[in-house]
Structure 1
Amino acid sequence: MSTNIDSEEIISIGDLSKELGITTRTLRYWEEVGIIETVDRSDGATRGYTPYYVRRIKFIMKLKELGLTIKEMQDLNSVYGEAKQTDRMVPQLIDVLDSHISKIDEKIARLASLKADIAEYRQKMVNKLNSKTKADK
Structure 2
Amino acid sequence: MTNVQKEGETIVSISDLAKELGLTTRTLRYWEEVGIVESVERQDGATRGYTPYYVRRIKFIIKLKELGLTIKEMQDLYAAYGDAKQTEKMIPRLIEILDQHVAKVDEKMAQLASLRQDIVGYRQKMMKQFALANEREQ
Given residue 122 of structure 2, which amino acid in structure 1 is its aligned partner? Y
Given residue 98 of structure 2, which amino acid in structure 1 is its aligned partner? L
TM-score by length of 2: 0.92
Does 1:73 find its partner at 2:80? Answer: no
Alignment deviations for residues 66-96 of structure 1 (CA, whole Å, 9 cap, x no partner): 1111010010001001111010000010111
Question: Could you list the runs of 4 or more consecutive aligned residues of structure 1 that deviate by over 6 angstroms after TM superposition?
Answer: none
SS of the counterpart of 1:43? coil
Number of residue equivalences: 134
Given residue 130 of structure 2, which amino acid in structure 1 is its aligned partner? L
- Aligned mates of 1:92, 1:115 — CA distance in 2: 34
- Aligned mates of 1:105, 1:81 — CA distance in 2: 31
- Aligned mates of 2:22, 2:68 — CA distance in 1: 18
Given residue 73 of structure 2, which amino acid in structure 1 is its aligned partner? E
Does 1:58 find its partner at 2:83? Answer: no
Q: How does 1:19-30 map to 2 (within 5 A)?
A: 19-30=20-31
Does 1:10 find its partner at 2:22? Answer: no
Does 1:123 find its partner at 2:124? Answer: yes
Higher relative contact order (CA 8 A, sep 6+): 2
- Aligned mates of 1:119, 1:26 — CA distance in 2: 41
- State the percentage of identical aligned residues: 66
